[in-house]
Amino acid sequence: MEQNPYSSSQTLLRRQRIPEISYFKHHLPLSIMQQAGGSEAEVTWEDQQNINKFGRLNNRLHELEDEIKIAKEANENFEDASNELILTDEEVVRFQIGEVFCHVAKDEVETRIEKMQETTTKHLEKLNDEKESILAEMAELKKVLYGKFKESINLEED
C-alpha cells in the first residue's frame, strides 16, 4: 500500500509553513523599505558601535545637565550666603560643616565661602566644556548615522 506523502501530519505542517515563511521573507522587507523611504541599509558592527556610542553620550549628556543644574544652585547658594555675611554685624557666625553648625569668625567664613564658590565655578566650567565636547561628538555621529540610515533611524529626543 502506497502512502500519500501529504497524509503525514509533519509533512502537512511543513507544507503549511512554507508559504508563511516565504510571504514574510518576501513581503516584510518591502514594507520596511517603504517605511524607511525606499532604501534598506545593512547595520554593520561599526554602525552598531556608533549607535551604542551615541546612546552612551546621550546618557552622559543628561547626567551632565543634572550636575550642571546642581552646581549652579550651589553657586547661587554661596552667593546668597556671601551677601548675608555682608549684611550681618556679628563677628562670629554659625557655619554649617556637614550636619553641624559651628561658631566661626566672620572673616574665616567669608574666605571659606569664596574658596567653595571658586571650586564650584571651576567644576561648572569643566562640566560645561565636557557638555560642549559631547554635543560636538553627538553631532558628528548624527551626520554619520543619518547619512547611512536616513529616516529609518531616530536620534532625536521626544
Give residue-wise pLDDT tens across range 7-28: 444 433 333 333 333 223 333 2
Mean predicted confidence (pLDDT) in 125-138 = 98
Q: For position 37, what pLDDT does the model report?
A: 52
Considering the domain architecture, whether residues 75 and 28 belong to the same structural domain is answered as no
Q: Quickly state the pLDDT bin for 39 (edges 50, 70, 90).
A: low
Cell numbers at 32, concatenated: 520596511
Query: What mean pLDDT, rounded, does the chain reach?
Result: 80
Most confident of the following: 28-37, 81-90, 134-143: 134-143
Nearest to 86 by CA among 101, 107, 103: 107
Domain count of the fold of the chain: 2
Beta bridge partners of 94: 103
Beta bridge partners of 95: 102
Considering the domain architecture, whether residues 96 and 79 belong to the same structural domain is answered as yes
157, part of any domain: no
Considering the domain architecture, whether residues 32 and 99 belong to the same structural domain is answered as no
Considering the domain architecture, whether residues 69 and 10 belong to the same structural domain is answered as no
Domain that holds residue 53: 44-152
Q: Is the pLDDT of residue 5 over 60?
A: no
Whole-number Cα distances in Å, 95 to 67, 79, 104, 105:
25, 15, 6, 9
For CA atoms 103, 107, 110, 114, give the dihedral sign.
negative
Give residue-wise pLDDT tens across range 64-110: 999 999 999 999 999 999 999 999 999 999 998 889 999 999 999 99
Whole-number Cα distances in Å, 114 to 22, 40, 41, 108:
73, 59, 56, 10
Considering the domain architecture, whether residues 60 and 132 belong to the same structural domain is answered as yes
Considering the domain architecture, whether residues 71 and 112 belong to the same structural domain is answered as yes
Roughly what angle, to the nearest 10 degrees, separates helices 45-87 and 106-149?
160
Q: Is the pLDDT of residue 38 over 90?
A: no
Considering the domain architecture, whether residues 23 and 84 belong to the same structural domain is answered as no
